[in-house]
Amino acid sequence: MKVRVLGCSGGIGGRNLRTTSLLVDGDVLIDTGTGLVDLSLDELAAIDHIFITHSHFDHIAALPLMIDSVADLRDAPITLHGSAATLAAIRAHIFNGAIWPDFSEIALRGCKVMKCEPISVGQRIALGNGRGISAVPAEHTVPTVGYRLDSGNASLVFTGDTTINDPFWPLMNRIANLRYLLIETAFSNRGEALARASKHLCPRLLSGELAKLAVPAEIFVTHLKPGQADVITGELEELAESPRLGLLQNGQVFEF
């Protein structure tokens, strides 16, 4: 599998800052943040599946425009996956006819433009060619999941937005082929109170979480808030885990 990071920032405010979106093998997306806008129309039209972690705007900002842009270019619906609560929120507040048309009710050339399929924690969806994606637990202010991508040879796990999350780590420790872990850290340690209130991580909380990981993996930190990115980076470098931590970068590619 090949994963390209289209966006990994916790906000905007710079030419290279794009919010969360990961492109998998050219036909699958995880989240549809502002990183999605850098894809060409042909690249957008090739996407068959979109997996949403949760309904917060930085993770779905480009979704309505993407669906509209490719509606007349495809012969099959795009499948939108997420928890039942996430899909309900997106339909109620985005694809509601007031903010944007409900493309799950619009048909072109005899088929709907978009269809919604809920996914539950632990459920695996086959993507063809031996590939699979599974929902993993996350802890956030709204219903949220992370995702495990499994090529058969190795796995990459993306936590989505999360905070202290005890159910997550036993699952990670049972993944024999875990190679990459992408984990959020939105705030600096000085913002720990806000991190806790908004159910995000800061470097101090991240260190406590990583102590629960008992299997080897390359770890990359994502979702840094732009105004705190430099401070967060410095604090991450001071962690005991620093040698095994990297910062996720826009444009970064993982092959596994």
100-129 pLDDT, tens per residue?
999 999 888 778 999 999 999 999 999 999
Domains of the chain by start residue, with CATH: 2-255 (3.60.15.10)
pLDDT score at 18: 97
**What SS3 class is residue 225?**
coil
What's the whole-model pTM score? 0.96
Whether 243 shows a pLDDT value over 80: the answer reads no
Residue 185, sorted as left (phi over 0), alpha (psi -120 to 50) or beta, turns out to be beta
CA distance 147 to 132: 10
Closest CA to 159 of 173, 180, 176: 180
Query: Residue 82 in contact with residue 167, Cβ under 8 Å?
Result: no
Whether 211 shows a pLDDT value over 90: the answer reads yes
Query: Residue 95 in contact with residue 182, Cβ under 8 Å?
Result: no
